[in-house]
Structure 1
Amino acid sequence: MKFAAFSGVLIDHSIQEAMQLTKKLGLDGIEIAGREPHLSPSTSGPRVKEMKAVADSLGLAIPVIASYTGGFATSSDKECGQTFDDFQRMLHHAGELGASKLRVSPGGPNAFLAQPHHFAKAAYWIDRCAAEAKAQQIDIIMEIHNGSLVETVESSLHLLSMLKHDNVGMIHDAGNMYITDTDYGRDSVYQLGKSLFHVHVKDELRIEKAGAPGSFVDLTHRGEEHFLQSRMGEGGADHQPLFDALRETNYPGWITLECHAPFPAYERLEHDYKQVKKLLGRS
C-alpha cells in the first residue's frame, strides 16, 4: 500500500507548495484536486508540465486526478456534453501528469431516492468516459459518496453492472459511508472485490447541531443530519476493520489522506498519517 495526500486539503497553498508539504510528510504521492488553484480543465499545458516536473524532482507519484467533472444523472443533455468536454481536457492532463486514474462523478440524487432513468443516464456517460480513458490506459474511478447514486456498495455495484467497459471502479471512503450510514468495514471491501480501485480515508462525527467550524448538514435515509469533519480517531468512523480487510486482501493500491477537520492543513494530515500507520501496525 502506498500513501498520498489529497491536494484539496492543501488548497490554500499553491500546487508546488502542496507537493513540498506532501514530501515533508513522508508520503509517496499526491492526489491532485481538479479545481483551481491546483488543476482544472482550463489549466494551460505549460502549467501542467511544471507540475509534473516539480513532482518528479521531489520523487512524488501522481496516482490520481480527482476531477469534479460528471454529475450526469440529473443534468440536461447539453450540460452532459459540456462536462464531457471538461472531462476530456482533464483526461489529457491526467496523461501528461502520469496519473493512472481519473475521478468522475455519476451525480445524484441519493441512491435511495434514485429512479432507473438516473442510473441509465449516468451509465451512458460514464461508459463514454471509460472508452476515452481506456484508449490512454487510464481507469475511471467513482467515489462512494453520500448524496450520489453510488453512496453504498450495493448501489455502486448496480451502476458498475450497467457499464460495458471494465476500466471503471470505486473509491472506498469510510468517512463518506459513515455519513450515509452504510457498511464501510470488512464486508464492504470483500463485496467490492476487484471493483475496489482506490481508497480515501477521513473521519466524520454525527452531532446534534451544525454551526461550529467544520460542521455541515447532509441528507441521509434518516433525513437531514448534522456532522463534524474530524481527524482520524476523533470522529465516529472505525477504520480498523477496513484496514484489516485491506491487509487480508493484499490491497495493492493507494490510500489517500483527505482530512478536512478544522485544524491547520499540515497538522491534520500529519495526525492522520500517524493514525493510519497505527491501524496498519506500523508504529
Structure 2
Amino acid sequence: MKFAAFSGVLIEHSIQEALQLTKKLGFDGIEIAVREPHLSATTSAPRIKELRSVADDLGLEIPVLAGYMGGFSTGSDKECEQAFSDFQRILDISGSLGSGMIRVGAGGPNAFLAQDYHYAKAAHWLRKCAVEAAKSGKSIVLEIHNISLVETVESGLRLLDMVGEDNVGLIHDAGNMYITDTDYGRDSVIGLGKRMFHVHVKDEKRIPEAGGPGTFVNRTKHGSESFIQCRLGEGEADHQPLFDALNETGYSGWVTLECHAPFPAYERLEHDLAKVKQMLGRA
C-alpha cells in the first residue's frame, strides 16, 4: 500500500511547493488535481516537463491525475465533445508524468434520481475515454461520489458493466459514501473486488446546520443535509473497517489522503497520515 497526498488540499500553493510539502510529510506520491494553479488541459509542455523533473528529484510518484472533466450524463453533445477533448489532452500529459490512472466524472444526478438514459449516455462517452486510454496502457477511475451516478457500490458496478472495458475502475471513498449513507466498510471492499482501482480517504460529519468554515449542504436520499469536513477520526466516517478490509484482501494499490477540514493544509495532511498509519498498525 502506498500513500499519496491530494494536491487539491494544497491548492493555495504552487505545484512545486505542493510537491516539496508532500515529500516533507513523508508521502510516497502525489495525486494532482487537474485544475489551476496545479495542472490543466492547457498546461504547456515545458511546465509539465519541469513538474516531472521536480517530482523525480524528490522521489515522488504521480499515480493519478484527478480530472474534473466529464459530466457526460447531463452534458450537451458540444459539452461532451469538449470534455472528451480535454480528456485526450490530459491523457497525453499522463504519459509525460508517468501517471497510470486518470479520474473522469460520469455526471449526475444522484443515483437514486437517475434514469436509464443517464447511465447509457455516460457509458457511451466513458467507453470512448477508456478505448483511448487503453492504447497507452492507462486506466480510467470513477470516484464513488455523492450527487453522481456513482454514489454506491451497486450504482458504480452498474455503470462499469455498461461501459464494458477492463481498464475502467472505481475509487473507494468512505467519506463520500458516508454522505450518501451507503456501506463503506468491509462489504464494500469485497463487493468492489478487483474493480476497486484506488482509494480516497477523508472524514465527514452530519451537523444540524451549515454556515461555518468547512461546512456544506448536499442532497441525499434523506433530503437536504448539512455536513462539516473533519480530520480523520474526528468525524463520523469510521475508516477502521475499511483499512482492516484492505489488509485482509492484500490491497497493494494507492491510498490518497484528501482532508479539507478547516485547519492549515499541512497540519491536516500530517494528522491524517499519522492516523492512517495508526489504523494500519504501522504507527
Q: Give the TM-score normalised by structure 2.
A: 1.00
Letter in 2 for 1:45: A
Corresponding residue for residue 14 of structure 1 = 14
SS in 1 for 2:56: helix
Corresponding residue for residue 228 of structure 2 = 228
Corresponding residue for residue 86 of structure 1 = 86
SS in 2 for 1:95: helix
CA–CA distance in 2 between the matches of 1:159 and 1:69? 17
1:220-259 superposed Cα distances (whole Å, 9 cap, x missing partner)? 0000000000000000100000000000000010000000
Corresponding residue for residue 170 of structure 1 = 170
Corresponding residue for residue 161 of structure 2 = 161
CA–CA distance in 2 between the matches of 1:69 and 1:82? 9
Corresponding residue for residue 258 of structure 1 = 258
1:126 aligns with 2:130: no
SS in 1 for 2:70: coil
Letter in 1 for 2:90: M
1:109 aligns with 2:79: no
Corresponding residue for residue 279 of structure 1 = 279
CA–CA distance in 1 between the matches of 2:184 and 2:86? 31
Alignment of 1:1-283 (within 5 A): 1-283=1-283
CA–CA distance in 1 between the matches of 2:130 and 2:169? 10
Q: How far apart are 1:163 and its partner, in Å?
A: 1.4
Q: How far apart are 1:78 and its partner, in Å?
A: 1.1
Q: How far apart are 1:164 and its partner, in Å?
A: 2.6
1:21-60 superposed Cα distances (whole Å, 9 cap, x missing partner)? 0000011000000000000001011111110000000000
CA–CA distance in 2 between the matches of 1:256 and 1:96? 21
CA–CA distance in 1 between the matches of 2:163 and 2:70? 16
SS in 2 for 1:68: strand
Unaligned runs of 5+ in 1: none
Percent same amino acid among aligned pairs? 70
